Structure 1
Amino acid sequence: MADAAQASARDKARDAAEDKLVQLVRRAAQAGPAMPCAVVHPVDAASLSGALEAAAAALIQPILVGPAARIRAAAAEAGLDLSAMAIEDVPHSHAAAERAVALVHDGRAAALLKGSLHTDELMAAVVARDAGLRTERRISHCFILDVPRYHKPLVVTDAAINIEPDLETKADIARNAIDLCRALGIARPKLAVLAAVEVVTPKQPATLDAAALSKMADRGQIEGGIVDGPLAFDNAISLEAAHAKHLESPVAGDPDILLVPDLTSGNMLAKQLQYLAGAESAGVVVGARVPIALTSRAEGSRARLASCAVMRLAVGMRVTRHGND
């Protein structure tokens, strides 16, 4: 009986997690017309089916950018119908990344969706100084995680782009994440700046950065959210853990965003939540002229669909910045 009760509880938790993704997709589909999206080098079944599913959900209007023969061959092998899809024929993945960025400059694409190419190859075209998609902000990545035991979507940033960010870069990472959460419908996102401990000590530089970010938010240098740190993971997520340490925080127990000290810790945290806690995730790069979904080949169709939904909402709320607008 106990095993049955535990299984039922797990099922209910999973249903709740699925509802979070469904709500994101539904809200995005209702946000207006589907956005034109360049799908970069979709020469396998996973990236093609993900683009078609997002199109069917009224999230994107795919522009398939890559070798046309390989794209059509992959579609034929998977039994996918591309008759309604626009295809930009280029010879290889490097050219596909450059052409996708050019489509943004031409006003033909409002977002980028990674297909079957390395992330570094796509991002090299995005950050190219002359022809890329840079803005005045540093580019960063946000995982949007549906953790079954957590009561709302949880953003982890940055776990994919900035390896060892300094204070200035962390400030942009915070701004990007806050803007994204506001696009997702959170009026005043709560951001916890993580460290190993919740006290400020020069022996742990991450705590100094966290304290500085909190004060920057107090002074209006980071706008739109509530920022507090340093917070250890336990007292960021658990109000009971914070109270046990006599910690008063406007963020503890209810963060929308976890800002991690560096890429290594963020990547580990996001993947631990996925593989040990059963979280499902979307992922998007922000801070560029358009949002960019860096979906992995290990991710399923739900992750791709949710990532497109997040991009659609970001475009609709003008989260991405254009030049110095």
Structure 2
Amino acid sequence: MMKIRKLEHLVDEAKRRGKKWRVAIIKGEDKNTIQAVVKAMDNGFVYPVFIGNLDAITQLLQDFDVKDSINYEIIQCDDAFDTAEIGLNLIKTGQADMIMKGLINTDLFLKAILNKEKGILKPNGVLSYVCALELPSYHKLLFLTDPAVIPFPNLDQKISMANYAIEMAHKLGNKEPKIALIGTSEKVSAHFPNTHDYEKMCALAQSGGFDKCVMDGPLDVFLACDPESVKIKGVNTSIKGDADILLFPTLESCNPFYKGLMLFGGGELAGLIQGTTHPVIVMSRSESLKSKYYCLALACLMAES
């Protein structure tokens, strides 16, 4: 597969594979979610199974001029937690390939995902989040982790975050992604404990402890993403200002960074919960229709073995 450099290419690749992935939409009763799902359905790469209030979902589908019920299913259920359990059962029984959050509280949705008996967390998995951003000012997709799940990741969690981001980059055709471990400068310092984790991660990468990648850090965002800054500062880094992945030390640093890019930088994204047996789509209600649509395409490609 060619390296995917734009989010629209996720859609092109999903359509090219000629398959309809079954997506369970939990409380699929909100306009933005249904609109994105209908767009993916119309483009032929998903078969939606809506779980929630039959009347509300039917009305929204009619609003978007969806008439042929052969292209989707609706499972009636009004209890929020029960809708999540029904969706997870569809995953477990092979009747769905992925699960998507609709009008259900995120904490309730993730509680179901993490349930030891009925959930879909991988054995010894770490729940995390990886997103791919398309930015007008950057020449390729930029992967970020973790803007949504782990507040203060420890070393083991950072290693898992890196692994998930590398896996996503590989699945999108990037055979050797450059992963920058983001800090305030390029120096390991006792003032910033995360930099000691970065030092250990780089040593692990040097010894082949990660799948194929180039890793360096700590680096600031300029050194990670701007070749001119690397020249100006004279820093010897294998990333060379050409990062594919930015790993942030905390959710508090990553989340404002990505939201700033979305609001002020004209960014669009596709992202997924990681650490699960099947793709999990969790999007804020404030995210654009395009981003929700791209998340569906990304989930389809990640669902492929």
TM range (shorter): over 0.9
2:276 to 281, 288, 297: 288
2:237 is matched with 249
2:36 to 38, 43, 50: 50
Tell me, in whole angstroms, the C-alpha distance in 1 between the residues paired with 2:239 and 2:43: 35
1:271 to partner: Cα distance: 0.6
1:106 aligns with 2:102: no
With 244-253 and 269-278 compared, the bigger mean Cα shift is at 244-253
With 188-197 and 116-125 compared, the bigger mean Cα shift is at 116-125
1:212 is matched with 200
Amino acid at match of 1:50: A
Contact residue 75 and residue 82 of structure 1 kept, 8 A: no
Contact residue 191 and residue 259 of structure 1 kept, 8 A: yes
1:75 to 54, 61, 64: 61
Contact residue 194 and residue 261 of structure 1 kept, 8 A: yes
Equivalent position SS for 2:190: coil
2:154 to 166, 171, 177: 166
Tell me, in whole angstroms, the C-alpha distance in 1 between the residues paired with 2:191 and 2:68: 57
Contact residue 171 and residue 213 of structure 1 kept, 8 A: yes
- What does 1:2-151 align with in structure 2 at a 5 Å threshold? 20-77=6-63, 79-81=65-67, 83-84=69-70, 85-135=72-122, 136-151=124-139
1:83 to partner: Cα distance: 1.7
Show CA shifts across 1:92-130 (max 9, x none): 221111111111111111111221122222111111122
1:294 to partner: Cα distance: 1.2
Structure 1's unaligned 5+ residue stretches are 1-18, 319-325
1:16 is matched with none
Equivalent position SS for 1:254: coil
1:229 to 217, 221, 231: 217
Amino acid at match of 1:33: K
1:183 is matched with 171
Equivalent position SS for 1:200: coil
Equivalent position SS for 1:141: strand
Contact residue 67 and residue 92 of structure 1 kept, 8 A: no
Tell me, in whole angstroms, the C-alpha distance in 2 between the residues paired with 1:37 and 1:312: 9
1:77 to partner: Cα distance: 4.8
With 295-304 and 104-113 compared, the bigger mean Cα shift is at 295-304
Equivalent position SS for 1:192: strand
Q: Mark the CA change 1:82 to 1:292 in structure 2 (over 3 Å): closer, same or farther.
A: farther
Contact residue 242 and residue 252 of structure 1 kept, 8 A: yes
1:214 to partner: Cα distance: 1.1
Contact residue 190 and residue 227 of structure 1 kept, 8 A: yes
Tell me, in whole angstroms, the C-alpha distance in 1 between the residues paired with 2:67 and 2:102: 17
1:275 to partner: Cα distance: 0.9
Amino acid at match of 1:225: C
Tell me, in whole angstroms, the C-alpha distance in 2 between the residues paired with 1:99 and 1:127: 14
Contact residue 41 and residue 66 of structure 1 kept, 8 A: yes
Show CA shifts across 1:69-107 (max 9, x none): 332233345544362311122222211111111111111
Show CA shifts across 1:139-187 (max 9, x none): 2111210010100000110110111110000000000010011111111
Between the two proteins, the alignment pairs up a number of residues equal to: 299
Tell me, in whole angstroms, the C-alpha distance in 2 between the residues paired with 1:220 and 1:237: 24
Contact residue 38 and residue 65 of structure 1 kept, 8 A: yes
Tell me, in whole angstroms, the C-alpha distance in 2 between the residues paired with 1:184 and 1:97: 29
Tell me, in whole angstroms, the C-alpha distance in 2 between the residues paired with 1:41 and 1:91: 8
Amino acid at match of 1:146: E
2:188 is matched with 200
1:45 to partner: Cα distance: 2.0
Tell me, in whole angstroms, the C-alpha distance in 2 between the residues paired with 1:248 and 1:146: 27
1:265 to partner: Cα distance: 0.7
1:191 to partner: Cα distance: 0.6
Cα root mean square deviation, aligned: 1.5
Tell me, in whole angstroms, the C-alpha distance in 1 between the residues paired with 2:20 and 2:237: 40
Query: Sequence identity, in percent?
Result: 28
TM-score (norm 2): 0.93
Tell me, in whole angstroms, the C-alpha distance in 2 between the residues paired with 1:109 and 1:260: 32
Contact residue 45 and residue 78 of structure 1 kept, 8 A: no
Contact residue 34 and residue 58 of structure 1 kept, 8 A: yes
